[in-house]
Amino acid sequence: MKLCAVGLRGIPDVMGGIESHCQQLYPRLVKSGMEVTVICRSPYVDSSVKEYKGVQLRSVWTMKSKFVETFLHTFLSIFYARFVVKPDVLHIHGIGPALFTPLAKLLGMQVMVTHHGADYDRQKWNQFAKNVLKFGETMALKFSDRAIVVGRSLTGALKNKFSRKSNGIMFVPNGAKTDMDTNMGADALPADLKLEPGKYVLTVGRLVPEKGFHDLVEAYKKADTDLKLVIVGGADHEDEYSMSLKKQAGENIIFAGRRQGDELNALYKFARVFVLPSYHEGLPIVALEAIAAGTEVIISDITPNADIGLPEDAYFRVGDTDQLAYKLTHVNELALAINKEAFLNTFNWDSISNDTFVIANNLAMGLPAQPRTAA
C-alpha cells in the first residue's frame, strides 16, 4: 500500500509540531510494510536527500512566504502526488492544506486528513486568514474519506459539528519519544550554553505569538528564582515579534536557537522544569517529549494542554504572568509528579502508528473505518 503525505514543511529535523509528528510516524509505517512518500517544501530541505529511514522524500518548489507558501506548495504537491507518486491514499496534514481536499477528490484520490489543531485561533492570523482556515477545516471534514484528530476534546467537538461524517472522524493523539538515551550524562548539554543540570527553565518552539514566550519572559522577570531561562527555537520568518523577543536576551535569558538530536534530548532531560505558555496547540509534542525525558512540566490551561491530564499544579491560566511567576518561584513546592509509565502507554508512537496504519489501509482497501475509542 502506498501513502503520500503533503502539508508539512518536510523531514527530517525541520522545526514544527507537524514535522515532528511525521518524523516519528512515517518510519514506523514503513516498518509495518507501507510505502511512504513525503512531499517537502523546497526552502526547508536538502533536495539531494531522497530518503529517511525508508521514507521517500521529494522536494517540490514553493516560495518562502508566511502567507503564501503553504497553499501554493499544497496545490502543486497534490498534482505531483496524483501524477508522479500515484498513491493509494493521500495524507494531508493541517487544516490550511486541507483547503485543497476537494481538488484531491476531483483528481480521483482517496484522502485522509490529520487535523493538528484549530489553527484559526492563532494570534498571527488576521480575520481573513482565520476565515480561510475555518473553511479549510470544513473542506477537510466534509470531503475527506477519513479524518484523524490529535486532540481528544477537539475530536468530540468535530464529531458534533460534522455529525454526518462522525464515523470517519477518529482520535489518534500525538506521541512522546521513548528512545532517549537514559544513560546520557550532563556532558551532552550544549557546551556553548554553559548550563548546569537542574539549574534552568526550558521551553521549546517557534518564536511566534501563539507560543506565548513573551508571557514566559515577563513571568520569569517577575519570579524570584535562581534558575536561568532557556528558549530553544527560531522563526521561519523573522518579524517584529521574534526580533523584539530576542532583544530580551541576557545573562539569564538565553535564546539557544534551533537544537536537535542529543543536544535537544539533553536539554529536556536536565532542565529543572519545562514550561509551555501556549495560546494555541493541537496536542503539544514538545511537552510530551519533556515528560518522556523525565522532566516536570508547567503548561497553560488551554483545552489541548488539559487533554494531557497532568496534575492541577502543572497548569496556569493562559496569559496570567503573575500566576506563572508564582509557580516559577515556588516550583519546588508544586505537586508535578506523574505516572510516567501510564503516560507513555497513552502517548506511544508505536500504538499511534498502528492506529494510523489500520485507518489508512482500510481506506485503501475500501473497508469501514475502525476508530480508536474517541472523545
Tens-binned pLDDT, residue by residue, of the chain (375 aa): 999 999 999 999 998 889 999 999 999 999 999 999 999 999 999 999 999 999 999 999 999 887 789 999 999 999 999 999 999 999 999 999 999 999 999 999 999 999 998 877 776 677 888 899 999 999 999 999 999 999 999 999 999 999 999 999 999 999 988 777 778 899 999 999 999 999 999 999 999 999 999 999 999 999 999 999 999 999 877 889 999 999 999 999 999 999 988 999 999 999 999 999 999 998 899 999 999 999 999 999 999 999 999 999 999 999 999 999 999 999 999 999 998 888 988 899 999 999 999 999 999 999 887 655 444
163 and 29 fall within a common domain:
yes
CATH number at residue 116: 3.40.50.2000
Biggest alpha carbon–alpha carbon distance for the chain: 60
190 and 328 fall within a common domain:
yes
252 and 357 fall within a common domain:
no
Q: In Å, what is the CA distance from 358 to each residue of 115, 148, 196, 226, 265?
A: 17, 12, 45, 49, 31
Q: Is residue 306 part of a domain?
A: yes
Q: Is residue 373 part of a domain?
A: no
Asked if 116 and 5 count as a contact pair (C-beta separation under 8 A), the reply is: no
356 and 337 fall within a common domain:
no
152 and 228 fall within a common domain:
no
Q: In Å, what is the CA distance from 209 to each residue of 15, 128, 264?
A: 16, 18, 22
In angstroms, the CA 89 to CA 255 distance is 41
134 and 275 fall within a common domain:
no
315 and 352 fall within a common domain:
no
Q: Is residue 374 part of a domain?
A: no
231 and 110 fall within a common domain:
no
Q: What is the DSSP string of 139-188?
A: HHHHH-SEEEES-HHHHHHHHHHTGGGGGGEEE----B-----TT--GGG
271 and 301 fall within a common domain:
yes
Q: What is the DSSP string of 309-346?
A: ---GGGEE-TT-HHHHHHHHHTGGGS-----HHHHHHH
Q: Is residue 180 part of a domain?
A: no
Q: Is residue 323 part of a domain?
A: yes
pTM, to two decimals: 0.86
Nearest to 264 by CA among 305, 214, 205: 205
Interior/surface letters 233-272, b for 16+ CB within 10 angstroms, e for the rest: bbbbeeeebbeebbebeeeebbbbeebeeebbbbbbbbbb
152 and 213 fall within a common domain:
no
Q: Is residue 371 part of a domain?
A: no
In angstroms, the CA 301 to CA 279 distance is 9
Q: Is residue 375 part of a domain?
A: no
Q: Is residue 207 part of a domain?
A: yes
156 and 192 fall within a common domain:
no
Instruction: Specify the number of domains making up the chain.
Output: 2
48 and 103 fall within a common domain:
yes
The residue segments making up the domain with residue 164 are 2-175+348-365
Nearest to 293 by CA among 196, 184, 195: 184
